[in-house]
Every structure is written in C-alpha cells, then in structure tokens.
Amino acid sequence: MGTRHTSVTQKLSRTERKRNKQGKLASVMISTLGRLGKVETTKSVFEVALIEGYGNTVYAFSAIISAYGRNSYCNDVIKVFDSMKDYGLKPNLVSYNVVIDARDKEGVEF
C-alpha cells in the first residue's frame, strides 16, 4: 500500500510540474504576442490556457493585462483585472500599474 501511495504522489507531482511548465510557457507566449501587437492571438492563447487549467496564474493574468494595456484595449484591461478575483488571484504590481495607466488613458479618475 505504501508503494501505491508513493506512485500516485509521484504521478501527481509530475502532473503538477507539467502544468507549471505549461503555465510558464503560456505566460511567455501571452507576453510576447502582446508586445508584437497580436492581441487576438494573445487572447486565444490566454483563453486556451484558462480552459486547460494552467492559465489561472497571476503571471498569465498580468501578461494579458499588459498586452491589452500596451495595445490600448483599456476596457479589457479592467475586465480581466476584475476577473482575477474569480480565480482567487491577487493582482501584482504589474497588474496595478497597467490598470492605473489604462484608466488614465480613458480619462477615468479614481
């Protein structure tokens, strides 16, 4: 029984490592595509990552928020920022800075 438990634990550990790698790759792709101005592709990568379960990280959300902000999708910045709470995520400094900048571009005062 101990061996079986270890095997299950190892499989879970491998699965978690794979998910972390996929999440990091998705975040890098989102960030890079956003810098290139490929907003629709960026959005697609983000949505697939969320559906597959490895995009629900602060890094992926910050990357898409930055991509939207960089490309003046100010309303989307706010929507994604607000949706972070639905995933139990706390925004980081990058997220806050982009939201502040987006609101400034829209002429929204705090």
DSSP letters along 49-100, please? HHHHTS--SHHHHHHHHHHHHHTT-HHHHHHHHHHGGGGT----HHHHHHHH
**How large a percentage of the chain has pLDDT more than 70?**
88
Give the pLDDT confidence score for residue 19 in this predicted structure. Answer: 78
For residue 67, the model assigns a pLDDT of 95
Q: What is the pLDDT of residues 36-58, one digit of tens each?
A: 999 999 999 999 999 998 888 99
Kindly state the average pLDDT of the residues 72-88. Answer: 92
Instruction: Please give the mean pLDDT across all residues of the chain.
Output: 87
Q: If pLDDT is split at 50, 70 and 90, which confidence band does 12 have?
A: low
Tell me the domain boundaries of the chain: 2-106
